[in-house]
Amino acid sequence: MTTPKYNWHTAFFAAIQAELVDYLDVLEFSQEHLLNDQPLRMDVLIIKQKPGVKITKNIASHFKEHNIVEYKSPQKSLTMRDYLKTIGYAYIYQSIARVDYKKITITYVCTRSPVKLINTLNNNPLYKVSQPHPGIYDVKGDRFPIRIIESKSLNADDSLWIKSLCDNVELEQAAQVMKNYAFINEKIHPDAYYHIFFEANKNRIMELMSMKDAKRVSKKDSETFEDVLVKLNWHVKWITAGKAEGKAEGKAEGIGIGVAKVIELINQGLSPDEAAKKIYEEQAAGSV
């Protein structure tokens, strides 16, 4: 079976901003930062605009003024080749930006356990690897301070957005991501994150939306999980089930019925894709 291709990197760019939302006035984020006019680019560059501010967030407590982040999607492993490539990027960036190497850090974020890489580093007397927190490894021995983050081992209370950027999210985490939509939407533009989150975790999201005690995004808000899907226009994409864009737009009330109908069909035992296809066919026939 072919593994679906999702734009994990764009979602990660939103996730790391969400993780560091308390420092948005201090940090400047750049996605796929070009190193020169050739196709060499870093996944994320984060520049601390106020050098004196200390970042206490667990994943970024090592940050200096210029911070290079390499992200590996859930299906990919972090290898020694990736490790060395990003160090090379750091040297190039140092030269082009004319930055003191002491002001640069490198962070690798991966979902799969980087066991082979960690073992390779530990077996080399030039390196020293420590683990200050679950899922976080600090590497000493290279020119730049280096941190390796294994997202699946992070504490969800501390790193909800990065930990949940996967295709097998836990139900409790999914609920927290949904409940935080309104809050994070006021700070950054998280739509890319939510689209990937929904696509990669369809069954989990539908299970969550079918739970009577997990309907509300916030106790203080009347907004529901279904409302979030509608705001992001994700329900249209899903209900069309791969059909041409715009064919199932229909009336606003029809769309609302469609979301509720999907939940009903899920509860009847249909898969999300089967439910989506049935909804599309009914809308196309004018029966919904």
DSSP string, 245-278: TTTT---HHHHHHHHHHHHHHHHTT--HHHHHHH
pLDDT band at residue 225 using 50, 70 and 90 as cut-offs = confident
148 and 176 part of one domain:
no
Note down the domain range covering 229.
Answer: 169-285
- Alpha carbon separation from 275 to 28, 203, 284 (Å, rounded): 42, 11, 14
- What is the SS3 assignment for 109? strand
147 and 181 part of one domain:
no
Domain membership flag for residue 2: no
228 and 136 part of one domain:
no
pLDDT band at residue 155 using 50, 70 and 90 as cut-offs = very high
114, 139, 161 - which closes a domain: 161
Closest CA to 159 of 176, 171, 182: 176
91 and 227 part of one domain:
no
Least confident of 131-140, 193-202, 266-275: 266-275
83 and 27 part of one domain:
yes
113, 128, 161 - which closes a domain: 161
Alpha carbon 259 to chain centroid, angstroms:
24
Tally of domains within the chain = 2
Contact 223, 38 (CB under 8 A): no
**Percentage of the chain modeled with pLDDT above 70:** 71
Model-wide pTM > 0.85: no
125 and 234 part of one domain:
no
Closest CA to 235 of 208, 268, 263, 207: 263
Distance in angstroms (rounded) separating the CA atoms of residues 168 and 172: 12
Distance in angstroms (rounded) separating the CA atoms of residues 135 and 148: 8
Residue 250 token pair: 């229909």
**Percentage of the chain modeled with pLDDT above 90:** 47
> In whole numbers, what is the pLDDT of the chain averaged over residues?
81
Distance in angstroms (rounded) separating the CA atoms of residues 159 and 153: 10
